[in-house]
Chain A
Amino acid sequence: MIEDTIYRTSSQYRVWSYTEESLQSLRASTNTIASDRVRVTLRRTRDAPQSATGTPQPGSDVDSKEEKPIDCLTPEEELVFVRYYCESLLELGDEYKPPLPTTLRATAIQYLRRFYLTNSPMTYHPKKIMACALFLATKTDNYYMSLQKFSEAIPGSPSAEEVIAPEFLLMQGLRFTFDIRHPFRGLEGGIMELSAIAEGQGQPTPILPHQTAQSLKQALLSIAPPPTPSSSITDRIGRAHNGTRELLKTAAQMTDAYFLYTPSQIWLSAFLLSDRPLCEFYLETKLGGPIIPSTNSDSDPSTPLDPLVELRTKLSKVLSDCSALLQGYTPLSSDPAQIKNLKRIAKKHYKCQNPEGLNMAQKRDSAQPPTSASATDSGPATSESETERLAKKRKLEEQKRGAQDLFGGELVPDRTKGQ
């Protein structure tokens, strides 16, 4: 299918698509590296506050002494913490006049989620990154807004410099891939086609040329009634449209759907949730008749399946998985237990923040924040570990250079420190 080939060229597929396991292991490794660093840094600042300038030295001796007092966030807690900020990002969009477009907010949320795949909220506080992500989204989504005006609307009204400070860091965390494929426009396309069918103007799908406008309309009118009764088919489509849109705005953004599924699958599963018969009808018009799940899976090894049927089988599984994921979402604010949990995490987070990370984020003018230097395009899991490796390497190189150089080292040995 040509559309799939086109999607495979996108950076969302090439760089930001994961399996559930790889996503989990990535988060876990990011978390361990970040918490190690936090422990080392916190201990050092406590033990010797005057020598807090050097890069952290991951030695084995420091771990043994005071492991207990520093309690770091777990990957799950980090995820909840980031999600809270994603939700507040959604609300932040309403502060503006006019409110920011939905796709723009969604873009910002995805930036934030992508950034915290390889970076930990313990290193960089999401509150600082959040505003910057939203501002970056206004730029990448062609919604021009001056930085001054932008920062005024943010609660707590931070200065323009504060908003823009972590921008480069954020871009590195995004690996400079700003393109986010949203399911919103796809939904519009599907609704457009459905209403065309409803008005008897439907066109047959290229792979199913026997369809006619009339047969499509007949089939559409004869599908099972929706869960909530509606007056006409147009009304029904409109209602499904709205329901899907709401789901895409919230559930799709706050879950890992963007990492695990393609935008087309996301909107179809949201559509499935809001009006199952309508969605199934639509899929049938695209991929042929209904499938019988049990017999097909049984006859799999004996007879080679028609590729269309195979696609259909696979797709129905993916869609049900995705819709289960979307359905499992409940907003944090609506659930008191979750709010309580969040408060606990926030408190914990306050204690285990990496003071160095915050400083780095603010030092935007320095050539490159050390933590993000490697995040440009190294493997997704290496963002934090790479930093340490590079720091060590740099130090070694400097020593070597100093020893080899006939006239001694450079006069200004550390450019970044001097500034």
Chain B
Amino acid sequence: MASKQAVDRRDEDEVCPVCKSSRYLNPNMRFLINPECYHKMCESCVDRIFSSGPSNCPVAGCRKTLRKNRFRAQTFEDIGVEREVDIRRRVMHILNRREEEFDTKRNYDDFLEQREEMIANLVSRIDVAKTEAQLKQYALENEQSIRANQALEEQEATSFQARMTLEQEEAQRRRQIARQEYENERRELQAGREDFLTRLAAGTSADAGTIAREGSKVHLKKSSARRSEEERIRQKQAALRGSETKRGGASTPAAAGPADSGLIKGLRKIKTPEPEKPYDPFMGFVPEKRDYFTLQESYPSSFLERQRQNQMASAGGYDLREYYSRTLLEAFAGLGVFVGDEVSKRDAEKVSPPAATEGAAMVAGNEK
């Protein structure tokens, strides 16, 4: 604020390049700029020209189309600095990789250099189109990680803010305590002195020496006790603060996001954990599925028909379908198992007898 006022005061004879009105005539005049072309003009000009929608820049030779909502107050006096800060902010917003995302410090440094180079290019208008294209491409490809890092930054900023306010409060409290202490001390000193005086006044002249000595001793004792107490409190607070900062440090989560970009090298490979598959208790086995036959509800058989009609059996829980499924399963169980081939293969694999066999033989031997 103060600097702005200073600027205002200094440039009393400033003139709007568009309407040529000077601050002398209009002391409340504010100058605004648009980051499109950084041409300065006064607020009334902006209102006048751009209220009815986007329009061309009124400065001669500049054909940029400006919008009213993009106009803002100038922060830096030098337009070049203003522009660089804007560019920097924009580039940093996109290329917002963090150090922990890189494999090595070296890679991170390379990234920083690359970013600075791009900013410098944009500021000094070298290869603008190419750099812009790169930026755009990167922003498209890494939309997610950019957003994640932005969120992280925001979070850090807020936590920093919170920590700062906490520290301020703490300091305030400390000061208050110190003041109170001082006050108490003073009061006590005064009381002690008064007491001392009354005793002196009441006592005889012979006691004066001893009373004076006692008084000073008491005072010393009290102050030393207080000092140790203060020390203790201070230590406690320091410990508390230490733990808080530690927690704050631990709370910054690791960055996540796809690490595929041609622009930035040396990014740490982030392993995204595979999404858990739905739990399959049979491990791919479908209990009712059969390959050789389709089970029917009933089969024609005079022999079984009697059983099917038997209500007593069905009341007891006997289900003929169980019989059907079992007989049909047994009809085909092992149809494609070729014992000759499979057993010889199995025997070839199993050269040494399994450990359990040895164990059983040993047990059998010991029992006798």
**In the bound complex, CA of A259 to CA of B360 (Å):** 25
How many Å from the CB of B249 to the closest CB on chain A? 56
User: Is B171 located at the chain interface by the 8 A CB criterion?
Assistant: no
Contact B292 A368 (CB under 8 A): no
Closest residue of chain B to A283, judged by CB? Answer: B335
Closest residue of chain B to A191, judged by CB? Answer: B301
Contact B291 A368 (CB under 8 A): no
Known contacts A193-B328, A205-B294, A379-B353; is-contact A13 B337 (Cβ 8 Å): yes
Chain B, 314-358, CB within 8 A of any chain A CB = 324, 326-340, 342-344, 347, 353, 356-357
Contact A376 B333 (CB under 8 A): no
**In the bound complex, CA of A394 to CA of B366 (Å):** 8
How many Å from the CB of A73 to the closest CB on chain B? 27
Q: Would you call the interface of chain A mostly helix, strand, loop, or mixed?
A: helix
**In the bound complex, CA of A204 to CA of B357 (Å):** 46
The 8 A CB mask of A257-269 against B (1 = contact, 0 = none) is: 0011111110110
User: Is B279 located at the chain interface by the 8 A CB criterion?
Assistant: no
Q: Which of B293, B330, B356, B361 has its CB near the most chain A CB atoms (within 10 A)? A: B330
Number of B interface residues, CB 8 Å?
42
How many Å from the CB of A275 to the closest CB on chain B? 16
Interface Cβ pair total, 8 Å cutoff? 174
Contact A394 B337 (CB under 8 A): no
Contact A368 B326 (CB under 8 A): no
Contact B291 A416 (CB under 8 A): no
Contact A186 B332 (CB under 8 A): yes
Contact B357 A394 (CB under 8 A): no
Contact B293 A205 (CB under 8 A): yes
**In the bound complex, CA of A265 to CA of B368 (Å):** 43
Known contacts A192-B299, A207-B291, A315-B336; is-contact A263 B353 (Cβ 8 Å): no
Complex interface: chain B residues within 8 A of A20 (CB): 340
The 8 A CB mask of B18-34 against A (1 = contact, 0 = none) is: 00000000000000000
User: Is A311 located at the chain interface by the 8 A CB criterion?
Assistant: yes
Contact A262 B289 (CB under 8 A): no
Contact B296 A3 (CB under 8 A): no
Contact B292 A205 (CB under 8 A): yes
Chain A interface residues toward B at CB < 8 A: 1-4, 6-8, 13, 17-22, 181, 185-190, 192-193, 195-196, 199, 201, 203-207, 259-265, 267-268, 286, 311, 314-315, 318, 367-368, 370, 373-374, 376-379, 386, 390, 393-394, 415-416
Chain B interface residues toward A at CB < 8 A: 285-286, 289-296, 299-301, 324, 326-340, 342-344, 347, 353, 356-357, 360-361, 364-365, 367-368
Q: List 24 A-B contacts (CB under 8 A).
A: A1-B292, A2-B289, A2-B290, A188-B327, A189-B327, A189-B332, A193-B328, A193-B331, A199-B300, A201-B300, A203-B295, A206-B290, A261-B339, A262-B334, A263-B330, A263-B334, A264-B332, A265-B335, A367-B367, A373-B368, A374-B361, A378-B360, A393-B365, A394-B365
Taking A196-B296, A204-B294, A265-B334 as given, write out 17 further A-B residue pairs in contact, using a Cβ cutoff of 8 Å, ordered by the A residue number.
Answer: A1-B291, A1-B336, A2-B289, A2-B290, A17-B342, A181-B333, A189-B329, A192-B299, A192-B301, A193-B299, A203-B296, A206-B290, A207-B292, A264-B332, A373-B365, A376-B364, A379-B357
